[in-house]
């Protein structure tokens, strides 16, 4: 087997593959072949320096992890299986599934999605007699998530909130919410990394086990890491120090959800002796597209100097069209797609990338009028559909009987005569006696004299217990089928309105297909295997909407600019290039340069999704938030070198040239000297993980 994994790479890519020892920052511009470099680097290390199970590669999406696994397997088919290639959350779940008992949870914990977490929080608010209008559950969950990303537990938040009435209530909600999660043996999405950090800091032996195991660590999309992810990486790299992070500060677009661009900008300060390699040769886009992207991003001050280039031809100019209205703008987009289809292009060659979801409506209407195939990303995900969530609730209740949210969801689905009054009655009993809700149901006759209702509950419990016993012996596919048939759920779905019932039944069939094709990955020979049911539930809990994007779907893609990151299309449309929309009104009026810079990075991402053509458009007037508005052209349009733009509108006045990038002051976090503080890092007051409280 060939062991030279640098063949066909350019000089900088080859340097990245061969630089294996110590910290490495790999600045990978858009379309520069970073996945190829990462996979070849991993194959090289596995072939010459380490055993595959001593390597960890972390990505941000399941789609990226799957692609990386497949590529490594093609390079080293006998070794790739044992490598840990996963998202941050999948990696942490894998650790927690084996170690979480050290911090008081059962290893059969479940993961709540936003909907389940909101239901749990509503129960907390009801118990606390807090008005949901004043404390909207989803807003509260978002606020709690931000605290968790910054490693702030309930007690710490309570201390920070002293003297602020609203924040004091928030702190109490946070504490009770975590208590309820713990009682249900459940984690929400933000807990996954936080609980792993808590585990590591409270049990250094467990940290040492994983930090010593992973001799080589690679992290993709490092510019998108938040505080918790940043600390996780530092801890895992604290023994060997062979950490390679890959990213592009010019594509850091998730500040609104906690990503900290300083993580990548300050890498050399955080990891002593770090090497830096830049991948600037682009293999995706034409020269004009790259020059346009370079021209825009040059106006940002907080960035590392770099410039994308290509050996490809300049290609077509970018197109700009100013329409009379948003409807005329949509006509223009659909007409260009129609012309492309007539010239032999496929539907999947086109993507419409917009700043906010509401912009898709008019474009969708025009696509429907022209009978064009399209798909909107960001709508109701497959795993969020009612019938799919009901089935998954059955599976989660089978896996973890103390998952109150799932038990309550299915106790009367399909209808079996156990209504809300009964649920409230037994829930109150459980709270008063500090007993698990499921245990109260198992002994319903002890607390209720309603014989008919008790019999129905007993039948429900018997059904779940039978499923639980069968789960140990049935293949996953057969278990799902048995749940759907014996519970009566499938027949109840089919009995619904003909069209709706048929669609929902088809979704259940698709879920069975998912289960049939699912195989839990072996961890390694020494650690055994996660049960197929547990691994399946983890997989569907962590899947992202954009993971469903497939190049085989011959549809026009409609998605937000945020969702488009990591994708590429021959032709890209960027509508509503207007001040107040892109950049947003909030960014324009905030007075914070950092907000405009993130919007500009989003523009850079949108332009660099295109291989051959970019169509930029705006409207003289459009309906927005119930009003007819007229916006000025986006400043980003004015920042594109005008010789690169073919305009079908009034001339655009270019802005002054960009100033050179400057270096900002370093952040509050102290550096770790890995030679002296391998197991006891000093993070400084703000980053002191030892203060994480048990939640």
Q: What mean pLDDT comes out for the span 140-158?
A: 92
- The more confidently predicted of residues 63 and 529 is 63
Measured over the CA atoms of residue 290, residue 292, residue 293 and residue 299, the dihedral's sign is positive
Catalytic residue among 251, 286, 391, 530: 251
Can 370 be counted among the known catalytic residues?
no
Residue 202 has pLDDT above 90, yes or no: yes
Question: Where on the phi/psi map is residue 450: left (φ > 0), alpha (ψ -120 to 50), or beta?
Answer: beta
Q: Predicted confidence band at 62 (pLDDT cuts at 50, 70, 90)?
A: confident
Name the token pair of 294.
Answer: 């370079």
Angle 220-77-88 (CA atoms, 0-180°, nearest 5)? 25
Catalytic residue among 13, 34, 229, 622: 34
Q: Is the peptide bond before 414 cis (omega within 30 degrees of 0)?
A: yes
Angstrom distance (rounded) from CA 581 to CA 565? 19
Q: Are 474 and 482 in contact (CB under 8 A)?
A: yes
Strand partners, 243: 217
Angstrom distance (rounded) from CA 688 to CA 65? 31
Residues 6+ apart with CB under 8 A from 211: 235, 236, 237, 238, 239, 240, 678, 679
Can 329 be counted among the known catalytic residues?
no
Residue 526 buriedness (CB in 10 A; 0-12 / 13-18 / 19+): exposed
Percentage of the chain exceeding pLDDT 90:
65
Average model confidence (pLDDT) across the chain: 87
Residues 6+ apart with CB under 8 A from 48: 3
Percentage of the chain exceeding pLDDT 70:
87
pLDDT in tens, 538-554: 878 876 555 556 667 89
Can 34 be counted among the known catalytic residues?
yes
Nearest to 560 by CA among 347, 348, 356, 329: 356
Residues 6+ apart with CB under 8 A from 587: 595, 596, 598, 599
The CA R_g of the chain, rounded to the nearest whole Å, is: 27
Q: Chain centroid to CA 411: how far?
A: 31
Q: Are 319 and 614 in contact (CB under 8 A)?
A: yes
Nearest to 578 by CA among 243, 365, 352, 329: 329
Alpha-carbon distance values, 612 to 30, 267, 287 (Å): 14, 34, 9
Q: How many CB atoms lie within 10 A of CB 258?
A: 18
Name the token pair of 311.
Answer: 């050996």
Residues 6+ apart with CB under 8 A from 145: 188, 189, 190, 258
Q: Which helix (H) or strand (E) holds 254?
A: none
pLDDT of residue 72: 84
Name the token pair of 158.
Answer: 């309570």
Residue 527 has pLDDT above 80, yes or no: no
Half-sphere exposure of 107 (CA within 13 A, CB side): 10
Q: Are 37 and 16 in contact (CB under 8 A)?
A: yes
Angstrom distance (rounded) from CA 617 to CA 359? 12
Nearest to 40 by CA among 311, 185, 246, 193: 246
Strands 318-325 and 610-624: parallel
pLDDT in tens, 42-61: 999 988 899 989 999 998 88
Instruction: Classify each residue of 466-480 as buried b or exposed e, where b means 16 or more C-beta atoms within 10 Å of its C-beta.
Output: ebeeebeebebbebb
Angle 180-186-192 (CA atoms, 0-180°, nearest 5)? 115
pLDDT of residue 256: 83
Can 221 be counted among the known catalytic residues?
yes
Angstrom distance (rounded) from CA 387 to CA 222? 36
pLDDT of residue 546: 56
Q: Are 408 and 525 in contact (CB under 8 A)?
A: no
pLDDT in tens, 290-312: 999 999 999 999 999 999 999 99
Catalytic residue among 6, 14, 20, 35: 35
- Token pair 């069975």 is found at 512
Most confident of 63-77, 368-382, 465-479, 571-585: 571-585
pLDDT of residue 536: 85
pLDDT of residue 689: 42
Instruction: List helix spans (H) across 76-203.
Output: 88-99, 114-128, 137-149, 154-161, 165-183, 191-202
pLDDT of residue 79: 64
Q: What mean pLDDT comes out for the span 95-102?
A: 95
- Largest alpha-carbon pair distance within the chain? 83
Catalytic residue among 116, 191, 221, 387: 221
Catalytic residue among 79, 99, 113, 220: 220
Q: Are 381 and 590 in contact (CB under 8 A)?
A: no
Instruction: Report DSSP state, residue 583.
Output: T
Angstrom distance (rounded) from CA 203 to CA 6? 40
Strands 556-560 and 610-624: unpaired
Residue 677 has pLDDT above 80, yes or no: no
SS3 labels along 325-379: EHHHHHHHHHHHHHHHHHCCCCHHHEEEEECCHHHHHHHHHHHHHCCCCEEECCC
Q: Chain centroid to CA 664: how far?
A: 28
Catalytic residue among 41, 69, 234, 609: 609
Can 35 be counted among the known catalytic residues?
yes
Q: Predicted confidence band at 626 (pLDDT cuts at 50, 70, 90)?
A: low
Q: Predicted confidence band at 606 (pLDDT cuts at 50, 70, 90)?
A: very high
Strands 610-624 and 569-574: parallel
């Amino acid at each position: 087997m060939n062991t030279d994994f640098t063949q066909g790479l350019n000089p900088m890519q080859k340097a990245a593959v061969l630089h294996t020892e110590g910290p490495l920052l790999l600045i990978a511009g858009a379309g520069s072949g970073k996945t190829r470099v990462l996979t070849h680097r991993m194959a090289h290390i596995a072939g010459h320096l380490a055993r595959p199970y001593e390597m960890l590669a972390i990505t941000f999406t399941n789609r990226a992890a799957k692609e990386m696994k497949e590529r490594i397997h093609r390079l080293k088919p006998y070794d790739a299986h044992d490598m840990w290639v996963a998202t941050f959350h999948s990696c942490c779940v894998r650790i927690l599934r084996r170690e979480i008992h050290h911090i008081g949870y059962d290893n059969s914990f479940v993961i709540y999605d936003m909907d389940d977490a909101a239901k749990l929080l509503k129960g907390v608010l009801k118990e606390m007699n807090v008005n949901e209008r004043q404390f909207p559950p989803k807003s509260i969950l978002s606020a709690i998530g931000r605290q968790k990303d910054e490693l702030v537990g309930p007690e710490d938040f309570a201390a920070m909130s002293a003297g602020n009435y609203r924040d004091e209530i928030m702190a109490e909600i946070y504490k009770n919410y975590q208590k309820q999660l713990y009682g249900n043996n459940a984690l929400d999405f933000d807990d996954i990394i936080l609980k792993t950090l808590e585990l590591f800091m409270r049990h250094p032996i467990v940290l040492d086990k994983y930090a010593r195991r992973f001799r080589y660590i690679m992290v993709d999309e490092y510019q998108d890491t938040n505080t918790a992810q940043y600390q996780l990486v530092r801890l895992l790299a604290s023994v060997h120090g062979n950490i390679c992070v890959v990213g592009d500060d010019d594509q850091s677009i998730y500040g609104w959800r906690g990503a900290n661009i300083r993580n990548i900008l300050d890498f050399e300060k955080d990891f002593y002796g770090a090497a830096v390699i830049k991948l600037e040769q682009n293999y995706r886009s034409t020269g004009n597209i790259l020059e346009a992207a370079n021209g825009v991003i040059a106006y940002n001050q907080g960035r590392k100097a770099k410039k994308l280039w290509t050996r490809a031809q300049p290609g077509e100019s970018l197109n700009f069209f100013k329409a009379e209205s948003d409807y005329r703008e949509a006509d223009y987009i659909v007409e260009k797609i129609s012309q492309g289809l007539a010239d032999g292009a496929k539907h999947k060659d086109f993507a419409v990338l917009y700043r906010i979801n509401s912009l898709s409506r008019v474009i969708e209407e025009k696509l429907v009028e022209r009978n064009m195939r399209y798909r909107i990303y960001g709508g109701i995900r497959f795993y969020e559909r009612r019938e799919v969530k009901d089935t998954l609730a059955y599976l989660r209740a089978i896996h973890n009987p103390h998952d109150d949210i799932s038990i309550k969801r299915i106790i009367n689905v399909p209808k079996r005569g156990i209504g809300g009054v009964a649920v409230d009655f037994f829930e109150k009993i459980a709270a008063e006696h500090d007993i698990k809700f499921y245990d109260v149901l198992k002994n319903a006759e002890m607390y209720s004299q309603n014989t008919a209702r008790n019999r129905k509950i007993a039948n429900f419990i018997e059904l779940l217990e039978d499923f639980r016993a069968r789960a140990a012996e049935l293949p996953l596919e057969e278990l799902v089928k048995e749940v759907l048939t014996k519970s009566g759920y499938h027949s109840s779905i089919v009995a619904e309105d003909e069209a709706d019932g048929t669609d929902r039944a088809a979704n259940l069939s698709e879920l069975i297909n998912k289960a049939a094709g699912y195989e839990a990955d072996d961890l390694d020979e020494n650690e055994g295997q996660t049960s197929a049911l547990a691994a399946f539930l983890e997989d569907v809990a962590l899947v992202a909407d954009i993971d469903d994007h497939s190049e085989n779907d011959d549809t026009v893609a409609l998605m937000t600019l945020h969702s488009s990151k990591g994708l590429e299309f021959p032709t890209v449309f960027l509508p509503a290039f207007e001040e107040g929309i892109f950049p947003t009104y909030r960014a324009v009026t905030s007075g914070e340069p950092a907000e405009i810079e993130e919007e500009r990075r989003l523009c850079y991402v949108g332009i660099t999704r295109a291989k051959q053509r970019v169509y930029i458009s705006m409207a003289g007037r459009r309906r927005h938030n119930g009003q007819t508005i007229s916006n000025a052209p986006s400043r980003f349009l004015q920042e594109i070198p005008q010789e690169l733009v073919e305009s079908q509108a009034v001339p655009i006045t270019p802005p002054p040239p960009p100033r050179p990038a400057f270096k900002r002051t370093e952040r509050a976090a102290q550096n770790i000297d890995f030679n002296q503080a391998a197991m006891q890092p000093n993070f400084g007051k703000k980053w002191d993980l030892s203060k994480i409280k048990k939640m």
